[in-house]
């Protein structure tokens, strides 16, 4: 009697790596773009979209829901803090509004407002890719095995 051990490891990234991947790429893209171009342009947008799409493509199937819906949160928790840290609350709004709190709030919210269309598009793309992955990788029920036909006993 042969004993087979089937220790099939699940394919893909664990849930925590699927969160860290787009967070890291988005924060790095925002940092580079803000220091070089002094604004969030194409390099940031490519890093954000690429990180979110890679996350939904590479995550384990059972952890797929999180990366499908996380793009708005990634933009909130990665791009906005980097913009606030790099601008240091000294944006162009300070002299006009006269309030440090309002200035920081506007600096924090600008990446969200200016990249809303990108965020919506990336969210739609991750949901569609995730649904396609769920459909293509679902477990199909095993086909029933045909019962062996027994010959009828001969009448004597």
Distant-in-sequence, close-in-space partners of 90: CB < 8 Å, separation ≥ 6: 103
Q: How far is CA 36 from CA 8, 28, 57, 103, 152, in A?
A: 46, 12, 30, 22, 85
Stated pTM of the model: 0.72
Kindly state the average pLDDT of the residues 55-79: 90
The candidate with the shortest Cα–Cα distance to 91, out of 109, 73, 104, 74, is 104
Higher-pLDDT residue of 136 and 107 is 136
Q: What ranges do the domains of the chain cover?
A: 15-90+104-136
Structure tokens at 66: 């999180």
Counting every residue written for the chain, the total comes to 156
Secondary structure element (H or E) that encloses residue 46, with its range = helix 42-58
Which SS3 state, helix, strand or coil, does residue 154 take?
coil
Higher-pLDDT residue of 110 and 133 is 133
Using an 8 Å Cβ cutoff, are 40 and 31 in contact? no
pLDDT > 70 fraction of the chain, expressed in percent and rounded: 79
Position 81 confidence tier, pLDDT thresholds 50, 70, 90: confident
* CA-CA-CA-CA torsion sign (50, 53, 58, 64): positive
| Average pLDDT value over all residues in the chain | 81
């Amino acid at each position: 009697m042969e004993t087979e051990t089937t220790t099939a490891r699940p394919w893909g990234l664990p849930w925590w790596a699927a969160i860290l991947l787009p967070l890291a790429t988005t924060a790095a893209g925002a940092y580079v773009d803000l220091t070089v171009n002094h604004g969030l342009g194409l390099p940031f947008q490519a890093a954000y979209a690429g990180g979110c799409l890679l996350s939904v493509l590479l995550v384990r199937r059972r952890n797929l829901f999180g990366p499908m819906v996380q793009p708005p949160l990634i933009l909130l928790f990665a791009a906005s803090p980097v913009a606030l840290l790099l601008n240091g609350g000294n944006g162009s709004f300070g002299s006009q509004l006269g309030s440090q709190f309002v200035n920081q709030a506007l600096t924090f919210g600008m990446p969200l407002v200016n990249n809303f269309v990108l965020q919506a598009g990336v969210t739609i793309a991750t949901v569609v890719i995730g649904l396609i992955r769920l459909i293509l990788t679902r477990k199909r029920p095993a086909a029933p095995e045909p019962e062996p036909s027994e010959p009828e006993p001969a009448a004597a």
